[in-house]
Amino acid sequence: MCAAQSRKRDPIVGTSMPTLEAADKVTGATLYVGDLVVPGMAHAKVLRSPLPHARVVSIDAAEARALPGVVCVLTRDEVAAAGIEPVYGFVYRDAPLVALDKVRYQGDIVAVVVADDLATAEAALELIEVDYDELEPVMDVDAALADGAPLVHDTFSPIAPELRPVEGTNVCHRASIAWGDVEAGFREADRIYEDTFSAPPVQHCALDLHACVAAIEDGAITVWTNCQSPFPLQRELQRIFKMDARVIVPYVGGGFGSKSRDRLECVVTAAAQLAGRPVRLVLTQEETFLTFIRPAYRGTIKTGVKDDGTIVARHVRFTVDVGAYAISGARSANNTLKVATGPYRIPNALVECDAVYTNKPPSAPYRGLPTTQHTMAYETQLDRIARDLGIDPVELRMRNLVVDGDVHITGDLLRSTHAKECLEAAAAGIDWGKPSERPDKPAKLRGKGVSCTIKYTLTPPTRLSENGAEIELREDGLFEVRIGTVNIGQGSDTTMAQIAADGLGVGLDRIRVVHSDTALVPVDSSTTASRSTYHMGNAVLDAAAKLTADVLAVASQLLERDAASLALGPDGVEADDGESISYEELVRRSGGPLTALGECVVGGTYTAPDGTEYPIASTFWSFASAAAEVEVDTDTGEVRVLRMGAASNVGKAVNPDSVRTQLEGGVGMELGPTLFEQLVWDEGGQLLTAALMDYPLPTMETSPLYRPEIIEHPLEGGPFGAKGMGEIGSVITPAAVLNAVYDATGVMFHEVPLLPHKVLAALEGRK
Amino acid sequence: MRPFEYVRPTTVGEATDFLREHGDDALVVAGGTAAVVMMTLGVLRPDYVVDVGFIPELGPELDGSRSGGAGLRLGALTTVRSIERDPAIAGAYGLLADAASQVANVRVRNRATVGGSVCYGEPQTDLPPALIAMGASATIAASTGVRTVPLAGFFEGPYETVLQAGELLTEITVPLPEPGTFGCHAKFTVGSPENKPVANASVLVRTDEAGRCVEARIVMGAVGPVPVVAEAAAALLAGEVPDAKLIAEVAARAADATDPQDDLRGPVWYKRRIAAVLVERALSCALRKAGNGTR
Ligand SMILES: Cc1cc2nc3c(=O)[nH]c(=O)nc-3n(C[C@H](O)[C@H](O)[C@H](O)COP(=O)(O)OP(=O)(O)OC[C@H]3O[C@@H](n4cnc5c(N)ncnc54)[C@H](O)[C@@H]3O)c2cc1C
């Protein structure tokens, strides 16, 4: 085969394929952290606070320590004695390894018992006596913002430079962004609408429960975990313990943000240090409810429009309940400022947010962060406006949606937009424009609704490389792709293998992927915010280009041919004239494996073809739409989602099946919080929905007919034009469902979940 | 989960002897679908787990032969799935099959037993209302002897029954209904059917040739500490050929008899409303069956 032909082989990027690990997963061969056994390993159990807010007067663990089989008990005293840093946190350093002076939510970690077996550890928990001095809890944002409210933290400890706490309050971050002149905009408006929306906390409920094994050997830490951010965790471990650390993340059975930042790893490492042997901690499902949750949200949105539906001004104020520790939640609120006004041309905008401490468990991103709730707020209001103005909801959106070349409220120049095409495709998925079929019972009503959104990705304020990828041509002639991306079920190994294969011009069978082990792969910031396909994809592509050049240079010498006449073929480097050298031989004769490091540089500014420079508030912007058809039972208030269309402009679908299932998964997952999921605390701060028995989850029974559609308009700068899309299915779901219910019943709901009793009450005008 | 000693008796006598000794510290486990969940949550922390699943005497006896054709004997280990599917039950005991078919999902139904669903005493379970409507009784064995309790008097409160420490439920007997008796079960859950229901309702009716109601029983679950028998509501049907108006009236009267609690599944007013909707649905369904003569 000649080189010119092999270069023209069918691309692998853009071809649907099962993930590389699919067979192992369905046969149960895949190991997750909870399956790992390290020689000499002991087991940990956590003693949690029964109170939402209290001073810890004393902890007596003597009896627990005396129990046969107990290795050690970690409390604040042992942390102090060990001389390690007692507090951790990613954007806020405010979370103690174990409670210091106070506990700040029901479930806060007070002590860790390490024992030879789990049963002993569990038994020992009951032998620890803790004396608490109860404090008044603040269980929601209103209570936390009230004058004279008890303070969850007396001092603030932000790490991320953009965070702005308000001294003397529970506000750990207050921020705003402005665009145009919002007051002038409202003066121009023919009509002004104002609505307030709220959503309670929920939990991600990943199948793979939070788990971690920590071992310290020869003065170095090794941690196996299912955390989505191995490298930031590595840095945190090194800071706290002043030792080298290695973080290994095997396959992860879902995170959805619940594992976006470390939460157990430093605690378990401290326990392992005290125990003098490796320690494993696997949380129960009930404990995950106390670990990281989606924050409660409330947003008030005021929109000014012209009589023809043109939006002229929008003011959004929202609060995010970050819970007891702002490890992660404070920045989540900040990041969504830039998408709170939606994918619309808005000349005048103001967005303000408060991130507020309360005595709830700490919050973490949840597949799309509050973008989902923002979308719910602005999209449901838009349907109210549409009805008021007598304009079809799709038409009203078409008049206002952004297009390529528009400038967003952040000043970013929008590219690879195609929001209108997304809306059309999603709407077509439920036959928008055609009336619903008549339900089989008169007590049932059907309706249709749509939604549109814009989503950002995590983006640094200045130009820098956030991640690398390495490709090595090994002695066995295989290309090893080393990536920091955590394979969390999204199929990242496969996506990166596809990108590497096409970048190199070799077959998928030549590619091996090594993932998320800080000792083996280059640094990566995190597997969050739909960032991997773009960022890691680019780094892989960069590495492939560099390695290709290196390999061709070596081959050029060995084959005594001009590098320009050579190309990578299926089994080796091939020359135009038919000469070739196998990869194995090339490595052997070049004296060892060839390795190249690629990177992905982001941030800074974007220079348009006309030379104008624009800021980059988001490395790429994602656009998507959903359309829902629902049936409402007016006897019971039950809402059933019959069909869901969903479409996203993903730039380029590297593995189209994966893209479609991500869209479906996002929609299906978010139907839970839309229809029935919620975490509920009583006035005393006790979690009532403490187990799955009282916390319904979506199942096949609640799944609609999915109609996912891929829209592909390549993004300049994306690998093969691709951008991220892992969260977007979630983001668009509640708004479309709420709008469909509005269409069916004429009642607009200003909160989720759409619990049947609330729906029935609203239908009947009950308070 | 707290460590425990696992005991596997093979006869009722062996089981009750063990329970006489250790009844207070022992937990009987049949299908385990409720018991094991309670253990993993730490709600139940027994020293001994007595697995009764290997006692042949507790096995199903679906054809009614032992009771001379005058009724149905369900050994305590009869699975919910077999109640749903067994042809011997589908006919005269159709209400039971209907209720069984609405329990959770196939996985749970395959393991869950009739004994477990009764002894659990959870107000939300599906089989107790159906069994009470059909006039079933429980046979209870202890090392000291055997007693029989009508299921209508079996439940004392949430998770509380007449069963004493040391006792074992061995079988449920259901009298053969009069010809012309038909029943339906209805339930309403938020989200998936595995979730605890807002309410459920079993309705049994017997009509004469003219379509007049001769007898009716209405029993509702999850709307009181124990299954609620709505006698006054059922009495409204006596001698009547029910129309939509009467059905609605009966449903409303049945809901009046409930005593629900405000909880995660809804406020009191809503549970009453759902109880009425379910009685209406189950009653309409039973009358429809009676009208067609098909169970
Ligand atoms: C996901 C899920 C969904 C569910 N959904 C439903 C539903 O839709 N409808 C419904 O009705 N129920 C439901 N249940 C509740 C329950 O599991 C069932 O009612 C089931 O029938 C219990 O039977 P079991 O054999 O599994 O009982 P077990 O779990 O073995 O026992 C339950 C209780 O009864 C006692 N017990 C069992 N057998 C005997 C005996 N012979 N003598 C004395 N005591 C005994 C046990 O000690 C224990 O206290 C659900 C449970 C789960 C886990």
Write out pLDDT tens, residues A61-80.
Answer: 999 999 999 999 999 999 99
Domain containing residue B25: CATH number: 3.30.43.10
Helices and strands: H and E segment counts in chain B = 11, 13
d(CA A361, CA A268): 19
**CA–CA separation, A294 vs A365, rounded Å?**
6
- Count CA atoms within 13 Å of residue B126 on its CB side: 31
Same domain, B78 and B45: no
- Euclidean distance between CA atoms A621 and A419, whole angstroms: 11
A716 CB-contact burial (10 Å; exposed 0-12 / middle 13-18 / buried 19+): exposed
The Cα of A634 is separated from the nearest Cα of chain B by a number of Å equal to 11
Distance of CA A46 to the CA centre of its chain: 26
Is A553 inside any structural domain?
Answer: yes
Distance CA A126, CA A634 (A): 49
Task: Classify residue B164 by its DSSP letter.
Answer: P
Does a structural domain hold residue B190? yes
Residue A2 clears pLDDT 60, i.e. is over it: no
A631 and A756, same domain (yes or no): yes
- ipTM given for this complex: 0.95
Given a cut of 70, whether residue A541 has pLDDT beyond it is yes
Domain coverage including residue B128: 60-174
Q: Can you list the alpha helix ranges (DSSP code H) found in chain B?
A: 12-22, 35-40, 80-85, 87-90, 94-101, 106-111, 114-119, 127-133, 231-235, 244-256, 268-292
Residues B88 and B144 in one domain: yes
| CA B140–ligand 1 middle distance (angstroms) | 17
Q: Are residues A540 and A634 in the same domain?
A: no
Contact B191 A760 (CB under 8 A): no
The conformation of residue A72, written as its DSSP 8-state character, comes to E
**pLDDT at residue A329, as a whole number:** 87
Q: In terms of CA atoms, which chain B residue is nearest residue A673?
A: B191
In a domain, B186, yes or no: yes
Interface touch A697/B37, C-beta < 8 Å: no
Would you say residue A557 lies in a domain?
A: yes
User: What's chain A's average pLDDT?
Assistant: 96
Residue nearest to atom 2 of ligand 1 (CA): B194
Report if residue A288 sits inside a domain: no
| Cα–Cα distance, A271 to A115 (Å, whole number) | 11
* Separation between Cα atoms, residue A713 and residue A725, nearest integer Å: 13
Same domain (yes/no): B30, B101:
no
Domain's final residue, options A537, A567, A602: A602
In a domain, B93, yes or no: yes
Residue A628: give its domain's CATH number.
3.30.365.10
Note the pLDDT tens digit of each residue in B117-148. 999 999 999 999 999 999 999 999 999 999 99
Q: List the residue whose alpha carbon is closest to atom 27 of ligand 1.
A: B116
Q: From B8, B120, B156, B170, give the residue whose CB has the most ligand 1 atoms within 8 Å, as the site to mutate.
A: B120
Last residue of a domain, one of A602, A631, A657: A602
Tell me the chain A residues in contact with residue B196 when contact means C-beta distances shorter than 8 Å: 693-694
| Residue A440 pLDDT grade (very low, low, confident, very high; cuts 50, 70, 90) | confident
Query: Exposed, middle or buried: residue A39 (CB in 10 Å: 0-12, 13-18, 19+)?
Result: exposed
Region for B211 from its dihedrals, namely left if φ exceeds 0, alpha if ψ lies in -120 to 50, beta otherwise: left
- Residue whose Cα lies nearest atom 5 of ligand 1: it is B104
Would you say residue A209 lies in a domain? no
Give domain status of residue B25, yes or no.
yes
For residues A481 and A446, state if they share a domain.
no
Whether B164 and B227 map to the same domain: the answer is: no
Mean pLDDT across A50-56: 98
**Residue range(s) defining the domain that contains residue A699:** 417-455+619-766
Mean pLDDT over A510-532 rounds to 96
User: How many domains is chain B partitioned into structurally?
Assistant: 3
Q: What's the pTM value of the predicted model, to 2 decimals?
A: 0.97
Residues B45 and B64 in one domain: no
The two structure tokens encoding residue A91: 């954007």
Q: For residue A661, give Cα distances in angstroms to A206, A647, A653, B94.
A: 16, 12, 12, 41
Same domain (yes/no): B94, B137: yes
Q: Min CA distance, B275 vs chain A (Å)?
A: 10
Domain membership flag for residue A26: yes
Ligand 1 pocket mutation pick from B28, B36, B39 by most atoms within 8 angstroms of CB: B28
Would the pLDDT of A333 be above 90? no
- Is A701 found in the same domain as A730? yes
From the CA of B29, how far away is ligand 1's center (Å)? 9
Are B170 and B106 in the same domain?
A: yes
A355 in a structural domain: no
The reply to whether residue B191 touches residue A675, judged by beta carbons under 8 angstroms, is: yes
Q: What's the average model confidence in pLDDT over A626-652?
A: 98
Residue B148 lies in a domain: yes
Residues A631 and A745 in one domain: yes
Which parts of chain B register pLDDT below 50? 64-67
In this structure, what DSSP letter does residue B180 have?
Answer: T
Kindly state whether residues B45 and B65 are assigned to the same domain.
Answer: no
Give backbone dihedrals phi and psi of A213, rounded to 5 degrees, phi first: -120, 130
Query: Residue A642, SS3?
Result: strand
Residues with CB under 6 Å of ligand 1 are B 27-35, 37, 52, 76, 80, 103-104, 108, 111-113, 115-117, 119-120, 125-127, 163, 168-169, 194
| A57-69 CB burial, b ≥16 within 10 A, e <16 | eebebeebeebee
CA B121–ligand 1 middle distance (angstroms): 9
pLDDT value of residue A5? 41
Query: What's the pLDDT at B68?
Result: 53
Last residue in a domain, options B145, B174, B203: B174
pLDDT at B65: 46
Domain CATH number, residue B209: 3.30.390.50
- B140 and B167 in a common domain: yes
A45 Cα–ligand 1 center, Å: 29
Regarding whether A478 and A593 lie in a shared domain, the answer is yes
Contacts of A15 (CB under 8 A, 6+ apart): A498, A655, A656
Overall domain count for chain A? 2
Query: Whose alpha carbon is nearest atom 31 of ligand 1?
Result: B116
Is A688 within 8 Å of B274 when comparing Cβ atoms? no
Whole-number Å distance between alpha carbons of A537 and A483? 10
Q: Is residue A344 part of a domain?
A: no
Residue A691 token pair = 């187990």
The residue among A602, A632, A659 that closes a domain is A602
Residues B42 and B67 in one domain: no
Assess whether A539 and A579 both reside in one domain.
Answer: yes
* Cα separation, A536 vs A495, whole angstroms: 10
Give the residue whose CA is nearest to atom 53 of ligand 1: B33
Residues A628 and A592 in one domain: no
Is residue A576 within 8 Å of residue A626, measured between CB atoms? Answer: no
Q: Which domain-ending residue is among B51, B70, B86?
A: B51
Last residue of a domain, one of B149, B174, B199: B174
Q: Are residues A497 and A631 in the same domain?
A: no
Q: Check whether residue A654 and residue A756 sit in a common domain.
A: yes
Q: Are residues A428 and A491 in the same domain?
A: no
| Portion 211-240 of A in contact with B at CB < 8 A | none
In this structure, is residue B295 part of a structural domain?
Answer: no
Mean pLDDT of the A96-115 span: 98
Complete DSSP assignment for A129-166: EEEEEE-----SHHHHHSTTPPPS-SS--B-STT----
Interfacial A residues in 314-353 facing B (CB < 8 Å): none
User: B263 with B278, same domain?
Assistant: yes
Residue in A636, A696, A766 nearest the CB of B274: A636
**Cβ distance of A757 and B270 shorter than 8 Å:** yes
The pick from B25, B27, B33, B160 for probing ligand 1's pocket by mutation, whose C-beta has the most ligand atoms within 8 angstroms, reads B33
A273-287, A723-737, B280-294: least confident range: B280-294
Domain assignment present for residue A727? The answer is yes
User: Do A712 and A647 share a structural domain?
Assistant: yes
Q: Quote the ligand 1 centre to B120 CA distance (angstroms).
A: 6
